[in-house]
Amino acid sequence: MLRLYDYLPSGNGYKVRLLLSHLGTPFELIEKDIDKGETRTPEFLRINPNGRIPVLQTEEGGYLPESNAILFYLAEGTPYLPDERLQRAQVLQWMCFEQYSHEPNIATARYWITHGHLTEINRPLLEQKTTLGYAALAVMEGHLASREFFAGGRYTIADIALYAYTHVAPEGGFDLDGYPALRAWLERVRGQPGHIPITQR
């Protein structure tokens, strides 16, 4: 059986649990509390030297870190990853966008605020994170203005990757009222079979 090392409030871990729920794939959840340093122990660092969750232990016993890499691994051969070459590349395009332009800003702001890490050092950086986060949301809004989903004309792991932190962006101080296409997309994602909330096991 698959094992997932995860921290339930994490959007990156949620991506994997959401896809597993869509697929109906059973797995064992092993929770690691990042606030208690449980991903920085020698034992965990042997699993992932980068000291981050999620990490998927495959049925063969190997360990695969990085949320979007795990999504690709699990989605292979399923409707959540297109077969057509360009469509697959477009899925990857949006997943790269999520990790480069979206997650570092929206997820970081959320973490600082919800975990009490808005320190004197971080507070001046929050304005920049907020500005860049809104810029990413604007790109998404423009793309979704004429589309229901991000790539391949259907719900894919690109949507899962972007949904994870977008739907909790208000926890990081982001106001989504001015993004009607994005909010409609959030509702479409919530309506997918097998959808679960972020902290569901």
pLDDT at 200 over 90: no
Non-local CB neighbours of 49 within 8 Å, separated by 6+ positions: none
> CA-CA distance, 85 to 16, in Å (whole number)?
23
Of residues 9, 32, 169, the one with CA closest to residue 103? 169
Give residue-wise pLDDT tens across range 101-148.
999 999 999 999 998 878 888 888 999 999 999 999 999 999 999 999
The pTM assigned to this predicted structure is: 0.96
pLDDT at 117: 76
pLDDT band at residue 172 under the 50/70/90 scheme: very high
Of residues 75, 38, 40, 70, the one with CA closest to residue 56? 70
pLDDT at 191 over 90: yes
pLDDT at 20: 98
pLDDT at 155 over 80: yes
Q: How far is CA 128 from CA 21, 58, 125, 193, in A?
A: 35, 38, 5, 37
Above pLDDT 70, what percent of the chain? 100
Q: What is the mean pLDDT of the chain?
A: 96
pLDDT at 201 over 90: no
pLDDT at 73: 98
Angle formed by the axes of helices 11-23 and 157-166, to 10°?
Answer: 140
